[in-house]
Structure 1
């Protein structure tokens, strides 16, 4: 009985966190892989969110061979939740590798921001924004589909 009550409570709390079209996203500031701060603002049109390494790999695959500034031209930002990554692994291996990427990765090291957005395991959540408000959202589980969607967004 306790387990059923706990499950129901979890489902209700998840539903309460769901984003609705027209909802304004609260601004936040995170550092990228170069320790440069970025604040979510009304000019951001696309927010890509990966909650795990598999999702982050989808973004990386979709951006392979793209020129520097590809996301910025589309007013897009990429938020990666790295809170589950052990600190030693992050500092010795992951972050040095991320610094070689030619796109910006906003790093949520403490799971302060990413849990606001309902990205599932192994997927990338795409939030389409206008003036800081959510228009639509969709999830990508394949790099090719994400790459095509980004290409369709004209700078």
Structure 2
């Protein structure tokens, strides 16, 4: 019995070591258009990448930025990318993007969904990636506005 427990423990510990040694996800530099049709770049200067791909997640990011008075995420070396590819083009063109133009911060818009398709994500969560020269070092998933706001607050201090 003791040998079985010891073997199970060793296998469990070894699996953590294997996960820790997995290669990091590397992203490519990319230019996005924002809601004002200006170019925003994901490049090796970006330290934090905030990614939303569902409507509620976009609202969480907007509310968090408003609460924290973040009007220029790029000055913090952040890039906020919103995947709007699932949104019907008429809705995005005539309703969503004009509404985003009232926000005091820029949003990098992913209109096709292809570039971000391989990014780590969870359904109904906002993803935040810690980057080091376009390599994802850490991934955080937030399933509530409050949790996202608290995390981003810690990054601004």
What TM-score does the superposition give when structure 2 sets the normalisation length?
0.78
Which residue is equivalent to 2:71?
Answer: 68
Segments of 5+ residues of structure 2 without an aligned counterpart are 1-21
Match of 1:29 among 23, 28, 31: 31
Secondary structure at the counterpart of residue 141 of structure 2: strand
Q: How many residues align?
A: 135
Residue 82 of structure 2: aligned partner: 80
1:150 equivalent to 2:156? Answer: no
Higher gyration radius (CA) = 2
Alpha-carbon deviation of 1:72?
2.1
> Do the aligned residues in 2 keep the contact of 1:59 with 1:146 (CA within 8 Å)?
yes
Are the structure 2 counterparts of residues 58 and 132 from structure 1 closer, same or farther at C-alpha, using a change threshold of 3 Å? same
Report the Cα offset of residue 61 of structure 1: 1.9
SS at match of 1:135: strand
| 1:4-45 Cα distance to aligned partner (Å, 9 max, x none) | xxxxxxxxxxxxxxxx66332111111011111122111100
| RMSD of aligned alpha carbons | 1.7
Q: For 1:117 and 1:147, locate their aligned partners in 2 and report how far apart those are by CA, in whole Å.
A: 21
Structure 1 residues not aligned, in runs of 5+: 1-19
TM-score of the two chains, using structure 1 as the length reference: 0.79
Pick aligned residue for 2:133 from 131, 134, 150: 131
